[in-house]
Amino acid sequence: MTTFLKLLFRNRLAALGAVVLGAIVLLALVTPLLPLADPDVTATGDRFMRPFTEGHLLGTDHLGRDLLSRLLWGTRLSLAVGIAAALVAGTIGSAIGIVAGYFGGRIDNVIMRGVDMLMAFPYILLALAIVAALGPGLLNALIAVAAVNIPFFARNIRGVTVGLAGREFIDAARLAGMGHGRIILTELLPNVASTIVIAMSTTVGWMILETAGLSFLGLGSQPPVADLGSMLGEARAALITNPHTSVVPGVMIFLIVMSINLLGDGVRDALDPRLRSGALTRPRAVTLVDRKGQVPEADQKGLLNIQSLETQFHVGPRIFRAVNEVSLHLNPGEALGIIGESGSGKSVTALSVMGLVASPPGVITGGAVRYAGEDLLSADYRSLRQKRGNNVAYIFQDPLSTLHPLYRVGDQLTEAIQAHHAVPDATARARAVELLKDVRIPNAEARVRDYPHQLSGGMRQRVGIAMALANDPDVIIADEPTTALDVTVQAQILALLDDLRRDRGLAIIFITHDFGVVGQLCDRVAVMYGGRIVEEGPTATILSHPAHPYTKKLMACVPELGGGKRELAAIPGLPPVVSDLPPGCAFAPRCDKATEACRVGEIGFTGSDTHRVRCIHPEEVLA
Amino acid sequence: MGAHILKRLISAIPVLLGITVIVFLIMAMIPGDPATAILGSYATPENVEKLNRDLGLDKPLVTRYFIWLGNMLSGGFGRSFSLNRPVIDEILDRFNATLILAGVSFVLCTLLGILAGVVSAARQYGLADKAITFTVLIGISVPSFFLGMMMILVFAVNLRLLPVSGMYAIYGGGDLIDLARHLVMPALALAVVATGVIARLSRSAMLEVLRQDYIRTARAKGVHERRVIMGHALRAAMVSIIPVLGIQAGFVLSGSVYIEIVFQWPGVGRMLVDAILKRDILLVQGGVVFVAAAYVFFNIAVDVAQSLLDPRIKT
């Protein structure tokens, strides 16, 4: 509760709303005690006096009545009627909702049908019909406004109750022999009370506005008593000659509604955990680059060259060092594997290449990514966009969420082509069919018209691959392309990628957590842990002679087919949280060879250019 | 698709019947003698007695409902005593005006609201976002009837840019330009609140969608950012925006009652308020049923639009 209030008041607008509303409510409460003129005494000689005249701070209306006094009394009345309507609607609506939600079945069905019928009306129409039947008057307006808001409460509270009614404590109460009435009052009501209160406080602004509206139409409060709405309605006749009589009540309604809205927004935001975590921020078109140190010199290695890359996530005061001093290069036609557990930074490394790390919260804080010698991190959006998909293409993990659900796969393919080549639609479409055939999708001519949800998982991933191939890129970065698929489909997809690589001379970066996949596809492999590369070398060498204890353990996790009954090794402990990395080797806490020396200072690479390892006690001493 | 529309139309029948039940029950709450209420206080005793017999007041409530419904379906809502003409004629005369006002207003709030929401989301936390968020906050807090009055004061009285009220000029006019000039202020005043609500919702829907994986895919393909926002993201966001458009259409239709009063617009809303003040029950009842039915059909259109947009909805 205190954190809630703190959050609420950290929001300056909500605090402003609370202050304004508090002041208005206070004024309304003390109105009878203030030395004000009688609001209903007419003095036609003093009609339409301007604001700030002697004795009439806000002037007088068309009957010479003091506007300040009428305003305060009117505010009092409007607030009272609005709050009363909210209470009535809230009570009756909640009762209906609880009954429907608790009993369920037929009762629920009948009640909710009725509620749906009521909601089929434009709301004021219903209010007008009720006022028409009962006759104009403030009490009838209150009843009408409360009545049209009952469905809103009934529906909300029913939803909450349905969720609660199936819970164990309700069953327990029933088994204990409690009657329905008692269960509802003692077990259910306390649990839905907070929802009811929140719903009431967010709708009270509406209720005030709606009753004011009915009064404005002359259907609510009747002369001489006036709420804000009827003040405004009466003033309308003199709008052109004496606008102040309209402005005074109008501004007051505006202030009340706005302060309630501000407060309501504040409450909603404070209750929404996603806002606190910053999860509702939109990622920009390109990852933010904010390099602290020097940009590393170009060293002419490979077609794609990642040098000392550092990528971080800035979430509130916490900094997650997802990628730390990662250097990798990829030669034309080569397949490089990046392997590691979830959270090791392998995907973030891959996404950093084309500036696709979600930002905020992602920031690239150091290093360089060179494609054919050009630093992509200092490239502008235009040139980066031209390379995306055209020179470096991506295949992502889960093709159901990575393909657009509302576009036909053919359209998504032609779009990829037309993003880089100004070709006519027909040409692009023909090429899309070609691409689907290339990735061995049967009946490609018909499949282009399908939506992603109409395809199987394997087919969707083939579409993802076809899309990556659309512009004949030099480099494909495949981020766990087979993880979401079952084993047989997985093998097919891997074989397909391998064929495509050989046919087209593609260079592939293959991100995975599966050594089996690496062994099948990759020429070289880099092992990542805690945002760093801990070992890198030719696949055959690493598979036969792993040097880092982590690599060895990771390999032991892979079950061998036909390997008989052997205990599968799991690595004890959890991967490190990259916001709080210990000094020294990040793997030390889980490593059985670790010594004091492993826990201090920076541990550099040993070994050669072809096989290097970041470890003081390697399994194999590298030459 | 045709079958889907047909299915939705059939499902509207119980809703329409429900509406008549509700209106009938509300009208049954009228205190005192309904025939007097219907015929007005100048009715002759013979007429009152005849009407009471026709309404079957001595019969049970359910029977009375069916008599009432039969009268409505065959007799077209009855005859208004205050206007001395059939209710349905009066409604049809005025419904056009309401449709023009609410329709233009709805188009305005949809276009402006979505545009504002998209810009706001695309420039999150930027100057444009802050300006839009602030404007929207003001917009959703101003009562439309007060806003309308202030617009009259500024644009019609002080600046003399637009006519004060009405639908057409009394002398001359009557053409489309004249109508447009009269429509500007009421349509805007009516659109403001709904625009704000739609802008807010569009902003949060866009923010939600922009974080999705398929947006990253589109960017990875090299699709231009403008197309990512206005195509991929907006298309997906529309799935959650469209149902709210349906709800907001109801609010625009409702709000037209106030705006028609403020701007002397000759629509159904003003007719209803006049009828209530004159206690012309049949006119009220006919107007309410008619507009509610129109709204039901509008919502079916929204529903069909939704299923056209989202192929995952089974048609």
Closest CA to A110 of A158, A143, A152: A158
- Identify the pLDDT of residue A567: 59
Q: How far apart are CA A377 and CA A387, in angstroms?
A: 12
Residue A279: the pLDDT is: 56
The Cα–Cα gap between A518 and A513 comes to 9
DSSP string for residues in A125-138:
HHHHHHHHHH-SSH
- Within 13 Å and on the Cβ side, how many CA atoms surround A325? 10
- Chain B window 185-224: which residues touch A at a Cβ cutoff of 8 Å? 204, 206-208, 210-224
Residues of A in contact with B26 (CB under 8 A): 126, 129-130, 132-133
Does A568 score more than 70 pLDDT?
no
Mutate to test the interface with A, among B254, B312, B315 (most CBs of A within 10 A): B254
Alpha helices (H) along A239-380: 244-271, 273-277, 346-353
**Interchain proximity B288–A125, CB inside 8 Å:** yes
Which tokens is B113 given?
């609201």
Q: Strand A318-330 and strand A335-339: pairing?
A: unpaired
Q: Residue type for A160, please?
A: V
Range(s) of the domain holding residue A134: 69-275
Residue A540 structure tokens: 């055959």
- Alpha-carbon distance A378 to A401, whole Å? 30
If 0-12 CB within 10 Å is exposed, 13-18 middle and 19+ buried, where does residue A42 land? middle
CA dist., res. A410 & res. A449, Å (int): 6
Question: Does a structural domain hold residue A333?
Answer: no
Q: Is residue A237 situated within a structural domain? A: yes
The DSSP secondary-structure symbol of A364 reads: E
- CB–CB of A478/A506 below 8 Å? no
What are the Cα distances from residue A252, in Å, to A75, A255, B150?
8, 5, 14
Q: Is A125 on the interface with B (CB under 8 A)?
A: yes
Q: Which residue has the tokens 């005192």?
A: B32
Is A210 inside a domain boundary? yes
pLDDT at A33: 87
CB atoms within 10 A of CB A291: 16
What's residue A226's pLDDT? 85
Rounded average pLDDT over A167-180: 86
**Rg, Å, chain A Cα set:** 35
Confidence at A12, pLDDT banded by 50, 70, 90: confident
Quote the CA–CA distance of A170 and A190 in Å, as a whole number: 12
Chain B residue nearest residue A214, CA to CA:
B258
Low-confidence ranges of chain B (pLDDT < 70): 32-34, 37, 40-41, 55-58, 75, 173, 314-315
Among A83, A66, A33, A82, CA closest to A231:
A66
d(CA B55, CA B30): 14
Share of chain A above pLDDT 70, in %: 95
Cβ–Cβ < 8 Å for B294, A163: no
- CATH number of the domain within which A162 lies: 1.10.3720.10
* A562 or A201: which leads in pLDDT: A201
Q: What is the pLDDT of residue A337?
A: 94
A564 pLDDT exceeds 90? Answer: no
CB contact at 8 A, B280 and B82: yes
Domain assignment present for residue A25? The answer is no
Domain count, chain A: 1
Which tokens go with A115? Answer: 């509620």
Question: Hey, are the CB atoms on B277 and A136 less than 8 Å from each other?
Answer: yes
Decide: helix, strand or coil at residue B266.
coil
Q: What is the pLDDT of residue A562?
A: 60
- Residue A30's identity, in one-letter code, is V
User: What is residue A278's predicted lDDT score, i.e. its pLDDT?
Assistant: 53
In a domain, A267, yes or no: yes
Q: Is residue A463's pLDDT more than 70?
A: yes
Q: Please, which pLDDT band fits residue A212 given cuts at 50, 70 and 90?
A: very high
In terms of CA atoms, which chain A residue is nearest residue B26?
A130
How distant is the Cα of A565 from the closest Cα of chain B, in angstroms? 40
pLDDT digits (tens, 9 = 90+) for A16-27: 999 999 999 999
- Checking if the pLDDT of A561 tops 70, the result is no
Please tell me the least confidently modeled range out of A148-157, A502-511, A546-555, B72-81: B72-81
Q: Report the pLDDT value the prediction gives residue A9, as an integer from 0 to 100.
A: 65
Specify the amino acid at residue B30: I
Supply the DSSP string of B155-219, one letter for each residue. IIIIS--S-SSSSS-SSS--SHHHHHHHHHHHHHHHHHHHHHHHHHHHHHHHHHHHTSHHHHHHH
Count of beta carbons in the 10 Å neighbourhood of residue A411: 18
Domains (range + CATH), chain B: 88-309 (1.10.3720.10)
User: Looking at beta carbons, which residues of chain A come within 8 Å of B309?
Assistant: 406
Confidence class of residue A179 from pLDDT cuts 50, 70 and 90? confident
Domain assignment of residue A106, yes or no: yes
Closest CA relative to residue B38, chosen from B293, B291, B275, B289: B275
Domain-located, residue A219: yes
CA B58 vs CA A133, B30, B61, B64: distances in Å:
20, 16, 9, 9
List CB contacts of A135: < 8 A, sequence separation 6 or more.
B31, B279
pLDDT band at residue A604, thresholds of 50, 70 and 90? confident
Question: Which residues in chain A touch residue B106, judged by CB atoms under 8 angstroms apart?
Answer: none
Beta bridge partners of A559: none
Which of A591, A578, A599, A584 shows the shortest CA–CA distance to A530?
A578
Question: How many A×B Cβ pairs under 8 Å?
Answer: 234
Phi-psi region of A433 (alpha: psi -120 to 50; beta: other; left: phi over 0): alpha
> What is the spatial distance between Cα B36 and Cα B41, in angstroms, rounded to a whole number?
6
Mean of per-residue pLDDT scores for chain A: 87
Q: Which residues, numbered 250 to 279 in chain B, qualify as contacts with chain A under a Cβ-Cβ cut-off of 8 Å?
A: 250-251, 253-255, 257-258, 261-262, 272-273, 275-277, 279
What is the model's pLDDT at position A188? Answer: 87
Letter string b/e over residues A366-390, b meaning 16 or more CB atoms within 10 A of that residue's CB: bbbbbbeeebbbebeeeebbebbbb
Residue with tokens 């006690």: A617
* Residue pointed to by tokens 């209420």: B37
In angstroms, rounded to a whole number, what is the distance separating the alpha carbons of residues A127 and B265? 21
Please check the confidence at residue A455 and state whether its pLDDT lies above 70: yes
Q: What DSSP designation does A597 have?
A: G
**Lowest mean per-residue pLDDT among A162-171, A464-473, A517-526, A533-542:** A162-171
Cα(first)–Cα(last) distance of chain B, in Å? Answer: 6
Pairwise CB contact (< 8 Å): A387 & B275: no
Say if A299 falls within a structural domain. Answer: no
| Beta-bridge mates of residue A537 | A525
For residue A478, what are its two tokens? 């495949």
The band of A580, judged by pLDDT with boundaries at 50, 70 and 90, is confident
CB-nearest partner of B207 from A261, A282, A393: A282
A-contacting residues in B 158-187 (Cβ below 8 Å): 164
Instruction: Give the integer Cα–Cα distance in Å for A277 and A299.
Output: 40
The structure's pTM equals: 0.88
pLDDT at A490 (0 to 100):
83
CA-based max dimension of chain A? 109
Other Cβ atoms less than 10 A from the Cβ of B16: the count is: 16
Q: What pLDDT does residue A464 have?
A: 92
Say which range, A11-15, A93-97, A378-382, B264-268, has the weakest mean pLDDT: A11-15
Distance of alpha carbon A269 from its chain centroid, rounded? 13
CA dist., res. A31 & res. A202, Å (int): 25
Please tell me if residue B301 touches chain A, with a CB cutoff of 8 Å. Answer: no
